[in-house]
């Protein structure tokens, strides 16, 4: 009998890649997605007939528990979040409700309906915040610098507590920044690739950004969801940092994108105070040696390959927009592409 997985946030970047991976591995896949008047299911349209979607809001805790009891999953991947740092300053209460309280509702329901079930919590490198050391690993103290990061720290410790207090197989994946062609357009990397390709096609004049000197450890989302699966299939539940170990600035990302498109970013990019955070996280770089040693995990896609994947995808979109054509469909990653 196939293992049954439940993914919250299945229509997001990570959720769509993970759903593909689990289907590839023979799982029965269920997902939780918010029902809205403008439901965005673009990222899972290519696998829509192969997964079961349960509608539920992450602030409706009774509904979340109902879904878990109905599905009785062997594995739960909690990927849903209010994950935009800038928005978290504007909506701190909502961010906390979604990111810190919802995981508790899900873990409690899993403990009630399947004590052998496994739980994965999507933690984040933003929890480290104002770091004082060059590399962050599982022992680095947290110093969150946003409501988003604070809410994730709370969920991290709740996950640890359910593991230690109740014996639930529960683990945290402390994932550093991971991007892809499926990244939301409000996030800086995708904002850059979308704008740059639109500028290349004459659809946009310039790009306005915030702090160009912020440095991040960027990897590919497809690699990182594989790490999630490996965590839930390890000998015992533990928390892991997932990262490339290399850091680059937003300016570096800009240069790589615009160089690939043969554009001069210095003439086309404007830095604005409007997009800067009340408190900045200037530097993050992860040490994933534990994941390498215990999970045999390492990133496969390089920084340059990641940039080109994103630019090529958004360039296709920009060309379709220019010609008034239908936007190109999502390209499968783990599953065979349809003819």
**What is the C-alpha separation between 287 and 244, in angstroms, rounded?**
8
Q: What is the pLDDT of residue 126?
A: 94
Give yes or no: 316 in active site.
no
Does some domain include residue 147?
yes
Low-confidence ranges of the chain (pLDDT < 50): 37-38, 339
State CA 19 to chain mean position distance. Answer: 13
Q: What is the pLDDT of residue 37?
A: 43
Dihedral sign from CA coordinates of 314, 319, 322, 328: negative
Q: Which residues pair with 57 in a beta bridge?
A: none
Give the structural domain span for 125: 4-179+218-242
Query: Nearest Cα to 289, choosing from 103, 137, 185, 153?
Result: 137
From 17, 120, 148, 333, active-site residue: 148
Does some domain include residue 283?
no
Which structure tokens are listed for 21?
Answer: 């991976």
Q: What is the pLDDT of residue 337?
A: 65
**What is the C-alpha separation between 70 and 62, in angstroms, rounded?**
12
From 20, 28, 75, 126, active-site residue: 126
Does some domain include residue 291?
no
Does some domain include residue 21?
yes
**What is the C-alpha separation between 150 and 152, in angstroms, rounded?**
5
Cβ(65)–Cβ(108) under 8 Å? yes
Q: Which residues pair with 226 in a beta bridge?
A: none
Does some domain include residue 49?
yes
Phi/psi at 147 (5° precision): -55, -35
Say how many domains are in the chain.
Answer: 1
Please state, as a whole number, how many other Cβ atoms lie within 10 Å of the Cβ of residue 42.
Answer: 13
Does some domain include residue 91?
yes
**What is the C-alpha separation between 65 and 60, in angstroms, rounded?**
9
Q: What is the pLDDT of residue 313?
A: 97
Phi/psi at 51 (5° precision): -125, 155
Please state, as a whole number, how many other Cβ atoms lie within 10 Å of the Cβ of residue 298.
Answer: 14
Give yes or no: 124 in active site.
yes
Q: What is the pLDDT of residue 334?
A: 84
Which structure tokens are listed for 101?
Answer: 């309280």
Q: What is the pLDDT of residue 40?
A: 72
Residue that the structure tokens 């239908």 belong to: 326
Which structure tokens are listed for 76?
Answer: 């739960």
Does some domain include residue 266?
no
Q: Which CATH number belongs to the domain containing residue 224 in this structure?
A: 3.40.50.720
């Amino acid at each position: 009998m196939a293992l049954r997985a439940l993914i919250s946030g299945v229509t997001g970047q990570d959720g769509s890649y993970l759903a593909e991976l689990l289907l590839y591995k023979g799982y029965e896949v269920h997902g939780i997605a918010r029902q809205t008047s403008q439901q965005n299911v673009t990222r899972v349209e290519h696998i829509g007939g192969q997964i079961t979607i349960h509608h539920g809001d992450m602030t409706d805790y009774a509904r979340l528990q109902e879904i878990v009891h109905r599905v009785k999953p062997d594995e739960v991947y909690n990927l849903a979040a209010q994950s935009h740092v800038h928005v978290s300053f504007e909506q701190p209460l909502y961010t906390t409700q979604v990111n810190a309280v919802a995981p508790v509702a899900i873990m409690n329901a899993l403990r009630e309906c399947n004590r052998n079930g496994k739980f994965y919590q999507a933690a984040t490198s933003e929890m480290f915040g104002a770091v004082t050391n060059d590399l962050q690993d599982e022992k680095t103290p947290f110093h969150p610098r946003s409501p988003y990061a604070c809410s994730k720290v709370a969920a991290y410790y709740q996950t640890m507590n359910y593991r230690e207090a109740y014996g639930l197989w529960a683990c945290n994946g402390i994932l550093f920044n991971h991007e892809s062609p499926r990244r939301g357009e409000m996030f800086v990397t995708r904002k850059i690739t979308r704008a740059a390709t639109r500028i290349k096609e004459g659809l946009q004049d310039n790009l306005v950004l915030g702090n160009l000197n912020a440095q991040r450890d960027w990897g590919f989302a497809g690699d990182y969801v594989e790490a999630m699966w490996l965590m839930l299939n390890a000998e015992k539940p533990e928390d892991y940092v997932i990262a490339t170990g290399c850091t680059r600035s937003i300016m570096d990302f800009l240069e790589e994108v615009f160089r690939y498109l043969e554009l001069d970013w210095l003439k086309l990019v404007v830095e604005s105070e409007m997009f800067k955070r009340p408190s900045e996280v200037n530097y993050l770089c992860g040490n994933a040696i534990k994941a390498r040693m215990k999970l045999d995990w390492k990133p496969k896609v390089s920084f340059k390959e990641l940039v080109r994947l994103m630019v090529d995808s958004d360039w296709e979109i920009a060309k379709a927009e220019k010609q008034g054509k239908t936007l190109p469909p999502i390209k499968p990653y783990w599953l065979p592409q349809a003819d």
